[in-house]
Chain A
Amino acid sequence: MAAARGLDALYQEIVLDHAKRRVGFTSLADHPEQPAASERSATSHQRNPVCGDEITLRAVVADGPEGPVLRDVAWEGAGCSISQSSASMLSELVRGVPLEQTDRLVAGFREAMRSRGALALDEEEYGDAAALSGVSKFTARVKCAMLAWVALEDAVRRA
């Protein structure tokens, strides 16, 4: 439809699909995490003051032989298709990934989002989340895409 002009970069099919599937979405209260002795867990609540959108993300970090690993990510919250899709893609991407790598992923994602369209995310590295590259051209929506990633960064720091 005509309304799609200029929006294809933002609302790709895969983005809208993730907004519906919502990987990692769960009721955190109904599904409490009981970390094992070698694990620690923390949640982070983030809010977009502009629209009131919010997310609560829980990260479970496990100590492995080669350093800490992000064993699980779960989240709940309400928001626009970009924020929901981004949380879903993030969950799919970082489960079971060493923390050292998740730090790099978050930093790279932030850099791309702030690039005003100059940097594209590598599909091999970011999987479905690479489809969010187009968000950086819509500066008013960067916060929406960042919400879950900021929550992950914060939760890991507290875990």
Chain B
Amino acid sequence: MSAPTTPAPAGAAYDAAAVRAEFPLLSGGAQLPDGAPLVYLDSAATSQRPRAVLDAERSFLETTNSAVHRGAHSLAAEATELFEGARETVAAFVGAGPEQLVWTSGATAGLNLVAYSLGNAAAGRAVPGHEDAVRQWAPGPGDEIVVTEAEHHANLVPWQELAARTGARLRAVPVHDDGVLDLDAAAAIIGERTRVVAFSHVSNVLGVVNPVERLVAMTREATGGRALTVLDACQSAPHLALDLPALGVDVAVFSGHKVLGPNGIGCLYGRTEVLEALPPFLLGGSMVTTVTLEATEFLPPPQRFEAGTQPVSQAVALAAAIDFLRGVEERFGAGAVAEHERRLEQRLRHGLREVPGVRLLGDSDRSERVALQAFDVEGVHAHDVGQLLDARGVAVRVGHHCAQPLHRRFGVTASVRASAALYTTEDDVDVFLDALSGVRAYFGVGR
């Protein structure tokens, strides 16, 4: 998506209802028991897919499906072309080149790939010619891996396990009460022994945009450029214009199903020098050059990290999702989507502040945010809140959102989360707020 600062051309007001009409599930596909219209506020968990994405996947399967990067028949060549073309489209979406983009089955797989690759490096494995580069990132006894306490379990547990396997110590940067990352603490924690700094661009609970460039600069300064920076971009990719090389991170991941694409596909971006140096994780076919019974030579990235049969139709459909996002930008003008989502964010957060008994997790005016808000309703459990909202046709996420340490830090075990996307209307937010305002009375709390 384009930079949010560029104003939309006159007369091209954003029309969320028109965009929403392109999503079959949101325009009558999902049948609710009472015939109530669906208010879908769970896009941070998974976004809905426009017809163009569904059509692209089906069309590929009906006309071109075959194995890529092997076989001499023309169908295989055509499929390979579409598969690699999709890589170019998706890489360009995050400001990268195709050789910097690895397909994974999702963001979780991407983060595990990096963690296991570093574990292999710690066990002495290295790509010939890149021994020194990879050795500086590989953690060992006494070294440190740094995360934040706001991480999704997918960007926490793989690092916990890597620390346990290598004897390194895992440390977490805390967040302030308003959800903003404590940069003073980060500066104190990141140091000489740091080998990896892994953090999210946008927390999936707090909605706060973290200062990526500052954290990267801080890490570079404190470690002399020897630590690997890992960015979880799952919640930023759907909402912010991303230029990963400009952000300066070494690697980044995001998932397809949160950016209007299919399940089962995600991306790992890496700086060229980093991908070239990382030893492979999953091993097998399609990622090798010469194999003998004794040893194997691996292909250069990205293929080195793409062992086995790839999710080809999903890659093609993910590219269609990126094209769809581009098309919306072109139709309404650069920055129109960002402006719409900013309005939704304000309406959602300010509206929630007005509901008695509601406490926001990460209510910050001092940082950039996306339209995603978790909250606690005093005296009513998140599950019960979600159940009442569901009866009004409002779909929200309840639970710990795969971020138990963060919930513990805010003194709750579970919360309710409402999250928007480009197809969310202001009416959706209003219906949600109206339904929420009746919840405490229903449970006889706060009268």
Give chain A's interface residues, CB within 8 Å of chain B: 1-7, 10-11, 16, 20, 50-54, 78-82, 138, 141, 144
Q: In the docked arrangement, what's the CA distance between A81 and B6, Å?
A: 49
Would B438 and A80 count as touching, CB distance under 8 A?
no
With a cutoff of 8 Å between Cβ atoms, the chain A residues found around residue B407 in the complex are: 52
Would A81 and B384 count as touching, CB distance under 8 A?
yes
Q: In the docked arrangement, what's the CA distance between A78 and B408, Å?
A: 13
Would B384 and A80 count as touching, CB distance under 8 A?
yes
The contact of A81 among B391, B435, B443, by CB within 8 Å, is B443
The contact of A51 among B389, B400, B443, B444, by CB within 8 Å, is B400
With a cutoff of 8 Å between Cβ atoms, the chain A residues found around residue B381 in the complex are: 53, 79-81
Q: Smallest CB–CB gap between A6 and chain B, Å?
A: 5
CB contacts under 8 Å to A, within B404-447, are: 404, 407, 413-414, 435, 438-439, 441-444
Q: How many interface residues does chain B have, given as a range?
A: 20 to 34
Would B400 and A1 count as touching, CB distance under 8 A?
no
In the assembled complex, 11 residue pairs joining A and B whose CB atoms fall closer than 8 Å, in A order, are A2-B438, A3-B435, A3-B442, A5-B391, A20-B444, A51-B383, A51-B400, A51-B413, A52-B404, A141-B383, A144-B383
Give chain B's interface residues, CB within 8 Å of chain A: 33-34, 380-384, 387-389, 391-392, 398-400, 404, 407, 413-414, 435, 438-439, 441-444
With a cutoff of 8 Å between Cβ atoms, the chain A residues found around residue B443 in the complex are: 11, 16, 81
With a cutoff of 8 Å between Cβ atoms, the chain B residues found around residue A141 in the complex are: 383, 387
Interface contact tally, CB-CB below 8 A: 67
With a cutoff of 8 Å between Cβ atoms, the chain B residues found around residue A51 in the complex are: 382-383, 398-400, 413-414
| A interface SS class | loop
Which of A5, A52, A79 has the largest count of B CB atoms less than 10 A from its CB?
A52
Would B383 and A3 count as touching, CB distance under 8 A?
no
Would B413 and A80 count as touching, CB distance under 8 A?
no
Q: Output the nearest chain A residue to B439 by Cβ-Cβ distance.
A: A3
Q: Smallest CB–CB gap between B381 and chain A, Å?
A: 4
Q: Smallest CB–CB gap between A54 and chain B, Å?
A: 8
With a cutoff of 8 Å between Cβ atoms, the chain A residues found around residue B382 in the complex are: 51, 80
Q: Smallest CB–CB gap between A112 and chain B, Å?
A: 19
Q: Smallest CB–CB gap between B415 and chain A, Å?
A: 10
Would A52 and B442 count as touching, CB distance under 8 A?
no
Q: In the docked arrangement, what's the CA distance between A64 and B398, Å?
A: 45
Would A5 and B400 count as touching, CB distance under 8 A?
no
